Amino acid sequence: MSDVVQEIKNRLSIVDVVSGYVDLRKAGKNFKGKSPFSNEKTPSFYVSPDRGMYYCFSTSQGGDIFTFIQVLEGVDFKGALKILAEKAGVELKPESPEKRSARDRGFHILELATEFYNERLKSSLPAQEYLQKRGLQMSTVEKWKIGFAPGPPTYGWRELKKYLNKKNIDDQHLFEVGLIKGTAGNKEPIDVFRDRIMFPLFDSSGRSVGFSGRILHLNEKAPKYVNSPETDFYKKSELLYGYHQAKSGIRQLGFSLIVEGQFDVVMCHQAGYNNTVAVSGTALTIHHVQLLERLSKQVVLALDADRAGIAAAEKASELMLKRGFDVKIAPLPDGLDPADLIKQNKAEFKKIIADSKPVIEFLLRDLLANKYDTRTLRLKAREKVLPYILLLGNKIDEEYFLRIFTELTDITMEAARFELEKMRDLQENTDKYDVNSNGSDNHNVTNKTASKVINFSGDAIKNSYGFLRSAQSFLDEKWNKFITDELNKIKKIDDFFESIKEGEISKMTFILEEQLFKRDKKNIEIMTLDNLQRLKNGVIKKCLSELRKRLDGLNVEVDEEEFKEILKKIQNLELKLKETYKQPDFL
């Protein structure tokens, strides 16, 4: 498959592919145009023919020609491959029997695990009583294939593993689908899920791709929820729990109802809201939004009314408003989630959903509830609410919500419009970014085409890796080899590459490329050593943090071998942390 992908990339320029959807204009060594993913006025969509990648600043997504076609055409990778192969004149050979067999085997194992958990639920009275206590009907349990994963204190650590081994499924294949995990000291692998109520996670076709397990007997040392690790089958940033059951409901009701957990989803469906979905183990992503917009651009967020819930609603709303969604918020009573509220008072839950408010009005009323003095209220409204009005895709909505804004804050329409236009001008004409926000070489560069303020200060690992990838374009072959070798050494400490998506690299590359172009070679070399040091230190500190957490959760008397092994790893990493980068030998 990789050979076919490369052949297609060799035959098709990303400019040729994208220009079929976007009117591109030359911009230095790159091309730019208006985003095909949003209704922007100022072009913020960049294409690099040299790198074969694109990045959209208005929607924060990027990638290569395959990513682009997947998003624009609403297809999976296989669909994008077919479209681009036809365009490139490349013949697609049938998938090898080995690969097809591996995929089919994985789905088969996950289905067997689903059946195992479901059957074990039928023989576990405590698990059944817990589900009844939460208000679930048996028809709901069967519909969602909810189950029970046996484990301590009543059962052993390898119940699923033993069951599947007896069906001639070896451990390697169980590792591949995320059902077992290794233990220290080369002990026999154990089940990932033990003593948990099990919710199978389904893809859009209704196939089991992973699981989310809620602990049955509360244990201070065990997390309340455990999700499957990411595998070839389960990608948390792409999966919406309940989507396969909610598709027809979203179309019929005309909107999606987004909640926080699996219990909330199944109870909402049981209550008649068969348009309900939830994210699983992550915040709402652009992939989730793209799934929903195929069915409806109307969304209601039923989230906790505490600060964390409001913050989550703000982030999700920003992402969806950029895509032209109509977003409403249904705040829940303090301390209650949808599942609990439906069990207590289904009519009250229905009233809350029916009375949901547009996100802008909700944010304004949330500010009013804080009883700020007049000046503080107005300044906070400008800071917190006006940016959301700026995201609206049409002037009618903008006019409508500006009127609500002025009525609730007692700000004049003239002042509100002035501040809104000032924000619009700032967004379109004076965006700035900072490459090394915590280094000695900081300086801001005005970028008149970016669609928002970008500041690489959040994740040191991703930032430094992005810098090093970009720097390779400006340095000679010896430096390129040096950077690649050092990255491989760091990768042996922790495979941090897996957590970095191509879209994030695209974004950093386009921004850094412009800044590095203005610097001399010596300066870039110094910054390269600095970022290698930061990257190595960041990866080591991340590993140390994870190891220390594991150490804290161990019982020294029971897990003595594992305790010694982790302690040794910590000591080795602490020594590596003291090592500093010096100029390479070839200089």
Residues 29 and 510: their CA atoms lie apart, in Å, by: 11
Mean pLDDT is highest, among 6-10, 124-128, 233-237, 577-581, for 124-128
Least confident of 103-112, 185-194, 205-214, 487-496: 487-496
Tell me if residue 230 falls in helix, strand or coil: coil
- Check whether 222 has a pLDDT greater than 60: yes
Is residue 432 scored above 70 in pLDDT? no
Q: Supply the pLDDT for residue 557.
A: 59
303 with 331: CB under 8 angstroms?
A: yes
Top-confidence residue, 89 or 217: 217
Q: What is the reported pLDDT for 187?
A: 81
Confidence of residue 431 (pLDDT cuts 50, 70, 90): very low
Residue 228 scores a pLDDT above 50: yes
DSSP 354: H
* Percent of the chain at pLDDT exceeding 70: 88
- The reply to whether the predicted model has a pTM over 0.85 is no
Strand partners, 208: 202
Residue 449 has pLDDT above 60, yes or no: no
Determine the average pLDDT of the residues in 439-465. 45
Q: Name the nearest CA neighbour of 502 among 187, 166, 67.
A: 67
- Find the helix or strand (DSSP H, E) in which 241 lies: strand 240-241
Is the predicted pLDDT of residue 270 greater than 60, yes or no?
yes
Q: Which of 137-141, 153-157, 194-198, 439-443 has the lowest mean pLDDT?
A: 439-443
Residue 100, pLDDT above cutoff 90 = no
**What's the rounded mean pLDDT across residues 383-403?**
93
Residue 26: is its pLDDT beyond 60?
yes
Of 147-151, 237-241, 548-552, 558-562, highest mean pLDDT: 147-151
Q: How far is it, in rounded angstroms, from Cα 483 to Cα 529? A: 9
Instruction: With CA atoms as reference, report the closest residue to 451 among 311, 285, 322.
Output: 322
Torsion of CA 18, 21, 22, 25, to 10 degrees: 50
Kindly state the average pLDDT of the residues 250-262.
93
Cα separation, 258 vs 211, whole angstroms? 19
Backbone angles phi, psi at 190, to 5 degrees: -120, 165
pLDDT of 452: 32
* Coil, helix or strand at residue 351: helix
Please give the domain boundaries of the chain with CATH numbers for all domains: 2-88 (3.90.580.10), 97-227 (3.90.980.10), 243-427 (3.40.1360.10), 445-577 (no CATH)
DSSP designation for 497: G
> What's residue 338's pLDDT?
94
Task: Collapse the DSSP code of 348 into the 3-class scheme (helix H, G, I; strand E, B; otherwise coil) and give the result.
Answer: helix
Which residue would you say has higher pLDDT here, 373 or 444?
Answer: 373
Residue, of 516 and 582, whose pLDDT is higher? 582
Tell me the mean pLDDT in the region 288-299: 88
Sheet holding 240-241, edge to edge: 240-241, 276-279, 256-259, 298-301, 326-329, 357-358
pLDDT digits (tens, 9 = 90+) for 533-582: 888 888 888 888 888 877 776 665 556 777 778 888 888 888 888 888 77
pLDDT of 437 reads: 36
- Where does the pLDDT of residue 458 fall: very low under 50, low under 70, confident under 90, or very high at 90 and above? very low
- pLDDT value of residue 282: 84
Q: Which of 8-12, 254-258, 500-504, 522-526 has the least mean pLDDT?
A: 500-504
User: Which of 249, 237, 230, 234 has the alpha carbon at shortest distance from 289?
Assistant: 237
Express as a percent the part of the chain with pLDDT over 90.
46
**Amino acid type, 357:** K
Confirm if 60 and 66 have CB atoms less than 8 A apart.
no
* Cβ atoms within 10 Å, residue 229: 15
Residue 316: what pLDDT? 93
| Identity of the amino acid at 18 | V
| Element containing residue 214 per DSSP (H, E) | strand 208-215
- Sign of dihedral through CA atoms 341, 310, 405, 258? negative
H-type alpha helices, 155-285 = 159-165, 171-176, 243-253, 262-270
By mean pLDDT, which of 39-53, 291-305, 368-382, 494-508 is the weakest? 494-508
Other Cβ atoms within 10 Å of 360 Cβ, number: 24
Q: How confident is the model at residue 517 (pLDDT cuts 50, 70, 90)?
A: low
Q: What is the mean pLDDT of the chain?
A: 85
User: Which pLDDT tens digit goes with each residue over 335-388?
Assistant: 889 999 999 999 999 999 999 999 999 999 999 999 999 999 999 999 999 999
Q: Which residues pair with 198 in a beta bridge?
A: 147, 213
Which SS3 state, helix, strand or coil, does residue 192 take? Answer: coil
- Looking at per-residue pLDDT, the higher value among 413 and 508 belongs to 413
What is the torsional sign of CA 549, 552, 558, 561? Answer: positive
Check residue 440 and give its pLDDT: 32
Q: How confident is the model at residue 497 (pLDDT cuts 50, 70, 90)?
A: low
**5 band by pLDDT with thresholds 50, 70 and 90:** confident
Residue 451: per-residue pLDDT = 30
Q: Which residue has 């280094």 as its token pair? A: 439
Mean pLDDT of 236-246: 92
Q: Quick one: CA torsion of 403, 405, 409, 410, rounded to 10 degrees?
A: -20
Q: Which two tokens stand for residue 551?
A: 């150490």
d(CA 42, CA 449): 7
